[in-house]
């Protein structure tokens, strides 16, 4: 069965685990994965244990989104502000993509997932950049779900970068400043070609966007949960999607 956006819903598994909520599902879900540190702290574990547990949730959530037929998922894995964390934690976070893709790449390829990265990956350690390069290469021809990892990503930095690109076009006489509109501007964002997020989820009880997709999420529905990211699972996601399908989106107009 095709969903409303032409994407094929997976057939339901015998245990109903694959079953997506009824209704118009988001084309793009974006998640602020928060609460790894608190999850670890509550267990008397080092913060990095929380990040490791969070990585397993990443795997489960990608699987669930793919099973539910969500065409695009963006995960906030490392922000431009996260460099302020202790060196050891940053180092660990920079190793996680390597570990994650080493164990998951075959399944991602089997599922036809195309992996993309948003954020300034040129500032990542060489080994992380190598993982980024290899992952892009392995998945570039896949035509299934898109999974974006936001790595060294900041919404304001992204907008400034886009403004620079537009300014260059104007200076070069390629673009008339008065002809600039939202669509022409958005071409210069790292999410170009993807739908704007319809649903932004944040875990751990914090209620803010933290510089995540600030342009793209202008009309997104927001969903917050107190559940810490390592405890987030398929049922939580289903709950968020169910609530989303019940919301009336008006985009400033009248229904």
Instruction: List residues near ligand FPP by CB under 6 A.
Output: 33-38, 51, 54-55, 58, 77, 82, 93, 96-97, 100, 149, 204, 229
**C-alpha to C-alpha distances, 17 to 3, 26, 108, 203, 207, nearest whole angstrom:** 18, 19, 19, 21, 29
Give the shortest CB-203-to-ligand FPP separation in angstroms.
Answer: 9
Give the shortest CB-26-to-ligand FPP separation in angstroms.
Answer: 20
- Residue 25 or 119 with smaller CB distance to ligand FPP: 119
The residue with tokens 């304001």 is 156
- Residue 149 or 223 with smaller CB distance to ligand FPP: 149
Give the shortest CB-183-to-ligand FPP separation in angstroms.
Answer: 31
Measure the CA–CA gap between 178 and 147, rounded to whole angstroms: 35
- Residue 166 or 213 with smaller CB distance to ligand FPP: 213
Which of 15, 18, 34, 183 is catalytic? The answer is: 34
**Known active-site residue 82:** yes
State the DSSP code for 84.
Answer: G
Write the CB contacts of 61 (distance below 8 Å, at least 6 apart in sequence): 31, 73, 75, 232, 234, 237
- Residue 136 or 175 with smaller CB distance to ligand FPP: 136
**Known active-site residue 34:** yes
Q: Which residue sits closest to ligand FPP, CB atoms considered?
A: 37
Token digits for 28? 């793009």
Which of 18, 67, 82, 196 is catalytic? The answer is: 82
Task: Give backbone dihedrals phi and psi of 224, rounded to 5 degrees, phi first.
Answer: -120, 145
Give the shortest CB-34-to-ligand FPP separation in angstroms.
Answer: 5
CA atoms within 13 A on the CB side of 161: 16
Active-site annotation, residues: 34, 82
């Amino acid at each position: 069965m095709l969903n409303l956006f032409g994407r094929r819903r997976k057939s339901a598994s015998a245990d109903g685990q694959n079953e997506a909520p009824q209704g118009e599902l988001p084309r793009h879900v974006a998640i602020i994965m928060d609460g790894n540190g608190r999850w670890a702290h509550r267990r008397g574990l080092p913060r990095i244990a929380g990040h490791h547990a969070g990585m397993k949730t990443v795997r489960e959530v990608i699987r669930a989104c793919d099973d539910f037929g969500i065409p695009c998922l963006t995960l906030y894995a490392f922000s431009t502000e996260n460099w302020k964390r202790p060196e050891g934690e940053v180092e660990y976070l920079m190793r996680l993509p390597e570990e994650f893709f080493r164990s998951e790449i075959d399944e991602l390829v089997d599922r036809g997932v195309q992996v993309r990265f948003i954020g300034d990956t040129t500032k990542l350690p060489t080994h992380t950049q190598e993982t980024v390069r290899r992952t892009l290469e392995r998945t570039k021809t896949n035509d299934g779900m898109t999974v974006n990892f936001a790595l060294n990503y900041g919404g304001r930095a992204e907008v400034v970068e886009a403004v620079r690109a537009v300014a260059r076009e104007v200076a070069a006489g390629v673009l008339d400043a008065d002809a600039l509109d939202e669509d022409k501007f958005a071409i210069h964002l790292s999410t170009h070609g993807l739908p704007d997020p319809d649903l932004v989820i944040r875990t751990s009880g914090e209620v803010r966007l933290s510089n995540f997709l600030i342009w793209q999420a202008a009309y997104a529905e927001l969903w917050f949960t107190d559940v810490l990211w390592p405890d987030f699972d398929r049922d939580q996601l289903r709950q968020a999607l169910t609530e989303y399908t019940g919301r009336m989106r008006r985009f400033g107009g009248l229904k």
